[in-house]
Chains A and B, each alone.
Chain A
């Protein structure tokens, strides 16, 4: 699709520090952003992330570094001899597929379109803060619905769609985090005919998958719905090799979805 990837930085990258580092200690958080951005800049590369958390952290960090010379200088002092000049773009993979590759080109790769019903979850950090993330309208986004649409899928509408999945709250209040995801799962199961959930953030993915049994026990009912990463559905529809799509790592049973792609 005309994208070229480099793995030469793999042994150098640092964790983005995401919210927990920014929560507690702003300057080290910003220095980690500067470090990762400077590494990419050195190779003349932009950054594409597959995780909303990294996306938000790096893009916000990038915005601060690009607009606040004092903070840039301070961060650069922490990462020297590396130096960031503000020349890197940070994008989410889904935005790249949607905006740069574009749906018409993406369609050319689809070999197995299937009329599935899906519930897409954007995840807050893909959309907000909107002024900085600049992906889509945070109150009425369409990126993920349209990407799913390329595979023949229809997206259901659900009331709690734009609510937070609760993942960032896991570290500070697990009960609340589970309460948050349970509201969404119940909404999808009771009020839509979605056959699966699609996410595009590993942390949201974990949140949607990990607690289903526990929530079922809590609510004394069956809570079970397959959760796929958006790229897994695209991969199925593109008829990519099964082994490349990582279904061994899904924590929810996805057979009901895979069925549709067995010819």
Chain B
């Protein structure tokens, strides 16, 4: 008798970075990581679960297992709509949405940032605003003009250690 066994991705030791989950859990927003009981409630309520290849609870599980490369290169963390429904519904205060923020920060450290996000950060750094302010439209509404960007915002971002290499430099290859 032939039994068809479908092998899901096999995890090997070289995929595992044992320091990774501890690094996530050491951040202010990531400290709930180890509390996950894999109940799947976060994924059940996620409004984009139908479009995700890797679901929120799988991201959390992979992070706990130390699958750093898989997690940081996974599109799920970036298309998460940050609706925070999973944070509210998780029975174990894992705060999956907050953990995705931590993972996106870590992906940024590795130079993995979607172009659309980079554009917004670049605009904020250059102009002080993420979106384009149209002064003639403000005039029609009798609103005062928005002044030119001053250096204050740039100074604050610099002092806070903005990851310029990942966020401001065009086309990192």
B159 near A173 with CB under 8 A, answer no
A248 near B153 with CB under 8 A, answer no
A164 near B79 with CB under 8 A, answer no
- Given known contacts A64-B28, A75-B160, A15 and B128 CB-to-CB distance under 8 angstroms: yes
Number of interface residues of A (CB under 8 A): 51
Is A129 engaged at the interface, CB distance under 8 Å to the other chain?
yes
A177 vs B94: C-alpha distance when bound (angstroms): 26
- Given known contacts A11-B147, A180-B47, A24 and B160 CB-to-CB distance under 8 angstroms: no
A173 near B75 with CB under 8 A, answer yes
Is B40 engaged at the interface, CB distance under 8 Å to the other chain?
no
- List residues of A (145-186) whose CB comes within 8 Å of B's CBs: 163-164, 166, 168-173, 176, 179-180
A25 vs B82: C-alpha distance when bound (angstroms): 15
Residues of A within 8 A of B47 (CB): 163-164, 180
Residues of A within 8 A of B156 (CB): 14, 28, 31-32, 35, 78-79
A24 near B121 with CB under 8 A, answer yes
Residues of A within 8 A of B147 (CB): 11
B79 near A172 with CB under 8 A, answer yes
Residues of A within 8 A of B137 (CB): 249
Counted as pairs of residues, one from A and one from B, with CB atoms less than 8 Å apart, the total is: 143
Contact for B128 among A14, A19, A163, A169, CB less than 8 A = A14
A19 vs B79: C-alpha distance when bound (angstroms): 12
B61 to chain A, nearest CB (A): 22
B87 to chain A, nearest CB (A): 4
Is A114 engaged at the interface, CB distance under 8 Å to the other chain?
no
Residues of A within 8 A of B144 (CB): 7, 10
Residues of A within 8 A of B75 (CB): 172-173
**A contact face: mostly helix, strand, loop, or mixed:** helix
Number of interface residues of B (CB under 8 A): 51
A28 near B161 with CB under 8 A, answer yes
B29 near A124 with CB under 8 A, answer no
B83 near A164 with CB under 8 A, answer yes
Contact for A28 among B82, B119, B130, B157, CB less than 8 A = B157
Residues of A within 8 A of B33 (CB): none
Residues of A within 8 A of B162 (CB): 25, 28
Is A27 engaged at the interface, CB distance under 8 Å to the other chain?
yes
A68 vs B31: C-alpha distance when bound (angstroms): 14
22 contacts between A and B (CB under 8 A): A14-B152, A25-B121, A26-B101, A26-B102, A27-B160, A28-B156, A28-B160, A28-B162, A64-B28, A75-B160, A77-B159, A78-B156, A78-B159, A128-B84, A163-B83, A164-B47, A164-B83, A168-B82, A173-B79, A179-B51, A180-B48, A248-B140
Binding site for B on A (CB under 8 A): 7, 10-12, 14-15, 17-28, 30-32, 35, 64, 68, 71, 75, 77-79, 124-125, 128-131, 138, 163-164, 166, 168-173, 176, 179-180, 246, 248-249
Beyond A28-B156, A171-B116, 4 additional contacts (C-beta under 8 Å) are A21-B120, A164-B81, A173-B75, A179-B51
What are the 7 closest A-B residue pairs judged by CB atoms, nearest first? A171-B116, A128-B84, A124-B83, A31-B160, A28-B160, A164-B83, A78-B159
